[in-house]
C-alpha cells in the first residue's frame, strides 16, 4: 500500500508538469488553431529564467585574499555577491537561496514578451497554413531556441536548488497513519503540485469569471460570430498566446529544483505533453489537465519493479499504450469536443 501511495504522489508532481504544459498547448490550439511544437522551448526558457536570476543575484565582486591561493598557486580572488555586500551576509544569502521562487516575478513578463514576439513575429504567418507547416516551423524554432540557450549556458545541467527551507523530505506516511519513514515525499515536489493547482485554477477562473475570458471562450467556440459582433478577437488570442507561454514558463521555473535545467529539457516534455493533449481531447482545457495527471500517475505505476517484472519495459511505453487504447475507444480523447480537428 505504501508503495502505491508513493507512486501516486510521484505521479502527481510529474502529472503537474504535464498538465501545465498541456494546458498551454491547448490554450494555443483552442484559440489560434496552431499546433505549437515550440511549447517545450517555452518551458525551457522559463527554467532558464531561474538560472538567469540565480546568476544575476550571485553576481560578485572580487577581492584578493593573500592568505589563500587558487588552483594555480596565485593569491585567491574571493568572490562576494553584491547582494551580500548591500544587504549583509545573512539577508544576501537568503535572497540568493530563494532565487527559484523569486524567478517567478522575472519569468512572467519575460514569458509574456517571448510569447508575444513568437506569435506576432512568426506564428501568425502560419495561421492559414496546414498543420504540418505549423509543426515544422515551430519545431525548427524549438531547435533554434535550444541552441541559443546552449550557446549561452553550456550543455551541462545547471544546479538550481530549492530554498533551504524546502530541501529534504516530509514523512507523509505518518500523516496517513503509517510507520515513520515509510512514505517520504520531497517538500519541493509538494510545493510544485500545489503551485500547479493554483496556476491551473487561476487560468480556469480567468477564463470562467472575467469578461475577457468569456469573450475568449466564445471565440474558441465560434470565432467568426464573435468577430461579427465587432470584437477584435485576434488581439485577445494573441494575449492568450502570451498567457500560455507564461504558464509553460512558470512550470519550467518551479521545476528546476526537481530537474536541473539543460538546453534540451523542453524536448523531454514536449512529446509527452502532446500525447497528453490528444488523450485529453484536442482543444479541451479540463481534458488536458485530467490527462496530465492520469498519465503522470500511470507512468509512475509502470515504473514499479513489481509491474516491470511482469511487463518488462512497460515504463517506457505506458503513456503511448494508454493513448492508443483511449483513442481507439474514445476517438476525441477523454473530454474532446465534436468538430475539433475533424474537418
- Residues near other proteins, by CB under 8 A: 2-3, 6-7, 10-11, 13-14, 68, 70-72, 76, 150, 154-159, 161, 167-169, 181-186, 188-189, 257-260, 262, 264-265, 268, 299-300, 303-305, 308, 315-316
Instruction: Tell me the closest approach of the beta carbon of residue 45 to other proteins, in angstroms.
Output: 17
Instruction: Tell me the closest approach of the beta carbon of residue 13 to other proteins, in angstroms.
Output: 7
Question: What's the CA gap between 163 and 57, in Å, rounded?
Answer: 14
Instruction: Tell me the closest approach of the beta carbon of residue 67 to other proteins, in angstroms.
Output: 12
Instruction: Tell me the closest approach of the beta carbon of residue 251 to other proteins, in angstroms.
Output: 13
Instruction: Tell me the closest approach of the beta carbon of residue 299 to other proteins, in angstroms.
Output: 7
Give the SS3 label for residue 120. helix
What angle in degrees, to the nearest 10, is found between the helix axes of 39-57 and 131-153? 20
Question: What's the CA gap between 203 and 196, in Å, rounded?
Answer: 11
Q: Which is nearer to other proteins, 231 or 258 (CB)?
A: 258
Instruction: Tell me the closest approach of the beta carbon of residue 314 to other proteins, in angstroms.
Output: 12
| HSE of 291, CA atoms in CB hemisphere, 13 A | 32
Q: Which is nearer to other proteins, 206 or 303 (CB)?
A: 303
Question: What's the CA gap between 238 and 113, in Å, rounded?
Answer: 11
Q: Which is nearer to other proteins, 92 or 336 (CB)?
A: 92
Sign for the pseudo-dihedral over CA of 243, 245, 246, 252? positive
Question: What's the CA gap between 131 and 196, in Å, rounded?
Answer: 29
Q: Which is nearer to other proteins, 97 or 119 (CB)?
A: 97
Q: What is the DSSP string of 39-86?
A: HHHHHHHHHHHHHHHHHHHT-EEEEEEEEEE-TTSSEEEEEEEHHHHH
Q: Which is nearer to other proteins, 218 or 321 (CB)?
A: 321
Q: Which is nearer to other proteins, 123 or 254 (CB)?
A: 254
Amino acid at each position: 500500500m505504501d508503495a502505491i501511495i508513493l507512486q501516486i504522489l510521484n505521479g502527481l508532481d510529474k502529472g503537474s508538469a504535464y498538465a501545465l504544459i498541456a494546458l498551454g498547448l491547448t490554450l494555443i490550439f483552442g484559440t489560434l488553431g496552431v499546433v505549437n511544437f515550440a511549447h517545450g522551448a517555452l518551458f525551457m526558457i522559463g527554467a532558464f529564467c531561474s538560472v538567469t536570476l540565480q546568476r544575476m543575484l550571485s553576481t560578485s565582486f572580487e577581492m584578493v585574499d593573500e592568505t589563500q591561493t587558487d588552483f594555480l598557486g596565485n593569491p585567491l580572488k574571493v568572490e562576494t555577491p553584491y547582494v551580500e555586500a548591500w544587504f549583509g551576509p545573512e539577508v544576501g544569502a537568503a535572497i540568493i537561496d530563494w532565487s527559484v521562487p523569486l524567478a517567478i516575478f522575472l519569468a512572467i513578463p519575460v514569458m509574456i514578451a517571448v510569447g508575444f514576439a513568437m506569435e506576432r513575429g512568426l506564428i501568425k504567418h502560419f495561421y492559414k497554413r496546414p498543420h504540418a507547416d505549423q509543426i515544422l516551423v515551430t519545431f525548427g524554432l524549438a531547435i533554434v531556441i535550444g541552441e541559443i540557450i546552449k550557446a549561452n549556458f553550456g550543455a551541462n545541467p545547471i544546479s538550481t536548488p530549492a530554498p533551504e527551507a524546502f530541501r529534504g523530505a516530509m514523512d507523509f506516511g505518518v500523516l496517513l497513519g503509517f510507520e515513520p519513514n515509510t512514505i517520504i515525499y520531497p517538500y519541493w515536489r509538494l510545493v510544485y503540485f500545489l503551485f500547479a493547482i493554483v496556476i491551473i485554477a487561476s487560468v480556469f477562473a480567468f477564463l470562467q469569471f472575467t469578461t475577457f475570458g468569456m469573450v475568449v471562450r466564445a471565440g474558441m467556440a465560434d470565432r467568426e460570430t464573435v468577430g461579427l459582433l465587432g470584437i477584435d478577437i485576434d488581439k485577445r488570442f494573441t494575449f492568450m498566446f502570451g498567457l500560455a507561454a507564461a504558464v509553460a514558463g512558470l512550470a519550467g521555473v518551479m521545476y528546476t529544483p526537481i530537474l536541473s535545467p539543460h538546453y534540451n529539457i523542453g524536448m523531454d516534455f514536449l512529446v509527452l505533453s502532446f500525447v497528453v493533449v490528444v488523450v485529453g481531447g484536442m482543444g479541451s482545457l479540463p481534458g488536458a489537465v485530467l490527462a496530465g495527471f492520469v498519465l503522470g500517475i500511470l507512468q509512475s505505476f509502470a515504473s514499479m519493479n513489481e509491474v516491470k517484472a511482469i511487463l518488462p519495459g512497460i515504463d517506457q511505453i505506458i503513456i503511448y499504450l494508454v493513448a492508443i487504447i483511449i483513442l481507439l475507444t474514445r476517438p476525441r480523447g477523454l473530454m474532446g469536443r465534436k468538430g475539433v480537428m475533424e474537418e
